[in-house]
């Protein structure tokens, strides 16, 4: 946009400007005048204004086109196809005056200049303006994929209407889910628009080659999962498998897309205790990962808890491997560096596939079975806290939660010493992943079978670190869960101790 500030010129002894300054004066006087509407220069100035406003908005909202948080946030819900009925039309969602009043002045003016792939309503604009950066994949902040340009969420919003509506679907559905509501009219509208536009896109040649298509299908699968629509979730997962197969398999995808598919796979296989769909690790031999495929981390923490003799030998090997991986992540975090993303993914595939292959029947020693199974399920829950979390509310893992309760009861009846420390870790990890921290059963168990004596958070954290703990990911939610467990467990002590706690 032209600068309408002051210009200073020098004059001669008669008060007249010098000859070489007269052109400057004439130019300054006609600024903003004689500009033809629709001309190239007018369009250029308008475009510059829009870009400046969008940039200012991105900084204000703490998001940008390559923000991992925005990329992670714009992944999203449930699925049933169909035409959009009149009650779900964008115009019926909010009266224009009411909608405009809900928008902060900056967001209203700045987003108005952003050229989305399709016009969107005021309520959807408000969703975008209010979105808080949150990474659904917590461990992503600790990983380096040695590549750039892989987070194209903002660009896809401008280019791809299906991706735009899937992003708005994510934001609207997560808002409904966090409020413990059924999908609202705005969520249903964006769901149906996403399905309609995706079907149209898939009818074109080579649509499977687009990373945005993979992201959209992941969104639909995720949203079906949070609203407990297992049929739709299964359909979208099968569709995702087909797209990946057409691309030549997981190894042909860019590393970050592959990582996000694997994170979703961890969550869904943990939820159903089913076989991972996208795990390419087909090795059958169980060998120590960090003494075989990868070297152990330098300066391995000698204070790390050993479970040798407490659990089945094979479970001890997997536990030590995950400890090594966690140690490596913490060491990089302390140095403000990141772990190689592809190495991390390979290690997670290896550990996850073997944990899911095992169950309590694999232990040769009957006395080790209860704690072995409890630790196996606790490690799966720990992997969830690293790889897949929603803002404000848990992703549902009903089968894993039920199995972990049963395994904990069996192990808690016989465990002492270091086994008791493992169980305290399992309870707190459960509170971060599959249980609510104020759940009555959990609080009762914390009171009776948690830490051997009342501890401050700092002391409790030391015990957790000895098992396995990633400070960057777990410290803040872990402290809150600990405080909730400590406070709520008092309600179920003494005369208030109920039969449900046994």
- Name which residue leads in pLDDT, 266 or 405: 405
Q: What is the pLDDT of residue 383?
A: 94
Residue 327, token pair as written in the block: 């140690």
Ramachandran category for residue 32: left, alpha or beta (phi over 0 → left; psi -120 to 50 → alpha): left
User: CA angle, corner 143, sides to 139 and 146, nearest 5?
Assistant: 150
Torsion, Cα 42 46 47 48, to 10 degrees, reads 100
User: How much of the chain exceeds pLDDT 70, in percent?
Assistant: 65
Helix (H) or strand (E) holding 240: helix 230-246
Rounded Cα distance between 182 and 365, Å, is: 47
pLDDT tens, residue by residue, 147-204: 654 557 778 888 899 999 999 999 999 999 989 899 999 999 999 999 999 999 999 8
Rounded Cα distance between 265 and 383, Å, is: 11
Q: What share of the chain is helix, strand, coil (3-state, %, to 5)?
A: 65, 0, 35
Helix (H) or strand (E) holding 330: helix 313-334
Question: Which of 191, 195, 178, 220 is CA-nearest to residue 75?
Answer: 220
Q: What is the pLDDT of residue 48?
A: 58
- Name which residue leads in pLDDT, 280 or 410: 410
Torsion, Cα 315 321 327 333, to 10 degrees, reads -120
pLDDT band with cut points at 50, 70 and 90 for residue 4: very low
- Name which residue leads in pLDDT, 188 or 100: 188
Helix (H) or strand (E) holding 1: none
Question: Which of 466, 488, 366, 478 is CA-nearest to residue 420?
Answer: 466
Is the confidence at residue 46, as pLDDT, over 90? no
Rounded Cα distance between 323 and 307, Å, is: 11
Beta bridge partners of residue 328, listed in sequence order: none
DSSP 340: E
Buried b (16+ CB within 10 A) or exposed e, 460-488: bbebbbbbbbbeebbeebbeebbebbbeb
Residue 449 near residue 466, CB atoms below 8 Å: no
Beta bridge partners of residue 340, listed in sequence order: 144
The helix/strand count (H/E) of the chain reads as 20, 2
Rounded Cα distance between 199 and 173, Å, is: 21
Q: What is the pLDDT of residue 434?
A: 93
User: CA angle, corner 270, sides to 475 and 187, nearest 5?
Assistant: 85
Rounded Cα distance between 363 and 229, Å, is: 35
Residue 114, token pair as written in the block: 């952003």
Q: What is the pLDDT of residue 54?
A: 39
Question: In 3-state terms, what secondary structure has residue 135?
Answer: coil
Rounded Cα distance between 376 and 452, Å, is: 22
Please give the span between the terminal C-alpha atoms of the chain, in angstroms, as a whole number: 72
Residue 114 near residue 50, CB atoms below 8 Å: yes
Least confident of 60-64, 107-111, 415-419: 60-64
Ramachandran category for residue 353: left, alpha or beta (phi over 0 → left; psi -120 to 50 → alpha): alpha
Q: What is the pLDDT of residue 67?
A: 32
Is the confidence at residue 73, as pLDDT, over 50? no
pLDDT band with cut points at 50, 70 and 90 for residue 218: very high
Question: In 3-state terms, what secondary structure has residue 311?
Answer: strand
- Most trustworthy range by pLDDT among 28-42, 268-282, 379-393: 379-393
Domain boundaries, the chain: 57-272, 289-501
Average the pLDDT over 343-368 and give the result.
76
Rounded Cα distance between 317 and 118, Å, is: 53
Residue 96, token pair as written in the block: 């224009």
- Cα Rg of the chain, angstroms: 28
Least confident of 100-104, 126-130, 219-223, 238-242: 100-104
Mean pLDDT in the chain? 75
Residue 225 near residue 76, CB atoms below 8 Å: no
Residue 314 near residue 355, CB atoms below 8 Å: no
Is the confidence at residue 92, as pLDDT, over 80? no
- Name which residue leads in pLDDT, 10 or 217: 217
pLDDT tens, residue by residue, 405-461: 999 998 877 667 778 889 999 999 999 999 988 888 888 888 776 665 667 899 999
Question: In 3-state terms, what secondary structure has residue 251?
Answer: helix
Is the confidence at residue 206, as pLDDT, over 50? yes
Is the confidence at residue 469, as pLDDT, over 80? yes
Q: What is the pLDDT of residue 109?
A: 46
Helix (H) or strand (E) holding 108: helix 105-111
pLDDT tens, residue by residue, 357-389: 776 555 555 667 889 999 999 999 999 999 998
Residue 161 near residue 199, CB atoms below 8 Å: no
Residue 381 near residue 431, CB atoms below 8 Å: no
Buried b (16+ CB within 10 A) or exposed e, 108-133: bebbeebebbeebbbbbbbbbbebee
Measured CA distances, 33 to 5, 8, 28, 292 (Å)? 15, 21, 10, 75
């Amino acid at each position: 946009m032209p600068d309408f500030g002051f210009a200073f010129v020098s004059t001669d002894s008669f008060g007249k400007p010098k000859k070489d300054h007269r052109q400057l004066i004439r130019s300054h006087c006609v600024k903003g005048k004689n500009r033809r509407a629709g001309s190239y220069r007018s369009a250029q100035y308008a475009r510059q204004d829009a870009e400046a406003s969008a940039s200012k908005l991105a900084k204000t909202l703490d998001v940008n086109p390559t923000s991992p948080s925005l990329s992670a946030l714009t992944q999203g819900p449930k699925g049933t196809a169909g035409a959009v009925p009149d009650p779900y039309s964008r115009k019926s969602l909010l009266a224009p005056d009411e909608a405009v009043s809900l928008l902060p002045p900056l967001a209203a003016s700045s987003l108005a200049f952003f050229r989305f792939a399709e016009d969107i309503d005021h309520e959807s604009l408000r969703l975008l303006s209010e979105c808080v950066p949150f990474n659904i994949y917590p461990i992503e902040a600790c990983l380096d994929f040695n590549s750039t340009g892989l987070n194209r969420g903002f660009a896809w919003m401008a280019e791809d209407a299906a991706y735009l509506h899937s992003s708005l679907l994510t934001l609207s559905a997560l808002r409904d889910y966090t409020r413990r509501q059924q999908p609202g009219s705005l969520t249903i509208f964006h769901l149906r628009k996403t399905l309609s536009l995706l079907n149209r896109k898939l009818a074109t040649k080579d649509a499977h080659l687009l990373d945005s298509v993979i992201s959209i299908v992941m969104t639909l699968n995720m949203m079906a999962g949070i609203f407990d629509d297992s049929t739709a979730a299964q359909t979208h997962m099968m569709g995702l498998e087909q797209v990946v197969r057409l691309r030549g398999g997981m190894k042909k995808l860019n590393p970050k897309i592959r990582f996000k598919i694997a994170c979703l796979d961890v969550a869904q296989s943990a939820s159903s205790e089913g076989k991972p769909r996208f795990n390419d690790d087909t090795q059958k031999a169980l060998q120590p990962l960090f003494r075989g495929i990868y070297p152990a981390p330098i300066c391995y923490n000698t204070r790390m808890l050993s479970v040798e003799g407490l659990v089945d030998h094979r479970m001890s090997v997997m536990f030590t491997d995950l400890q090594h991986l966690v140690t490596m992540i913490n060491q990089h975090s302390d140095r403000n560096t990141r772990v190689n993303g592809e190495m991390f993914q390979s290690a997670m595939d290896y550990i996850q596939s073997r944990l899911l292959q095992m169950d309590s029947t694999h232990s040769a020693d009957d006395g080790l079975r209860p704690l072995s199974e409890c630790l196996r399920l606790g490690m799966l829950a720990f992997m969830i806290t690293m790889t897949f979390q929603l803002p404000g509310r848990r992703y549902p893992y009903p089968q894993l939660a039920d199995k972990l309760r049963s395994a904990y009861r069996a192990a808690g009846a016989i465990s002492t010493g270091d086994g008791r420390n493992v169980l305290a870790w399992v309870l707190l990890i459960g509170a971060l992943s599959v249980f609510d921290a104020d759940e009555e059963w959990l609080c009762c168990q914390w009171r009776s079978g948690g830490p051997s004596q009342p501890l401050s958070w700092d002391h409790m954290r030391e015990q957790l670190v000895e098992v396995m703990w990633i400070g960057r990911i777990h410290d803040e939610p872990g402290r809150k869960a600990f405080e909730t467990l400590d406070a709520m467990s008092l309600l179920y002590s003494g005369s208030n101790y109920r039969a449900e706690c046994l």
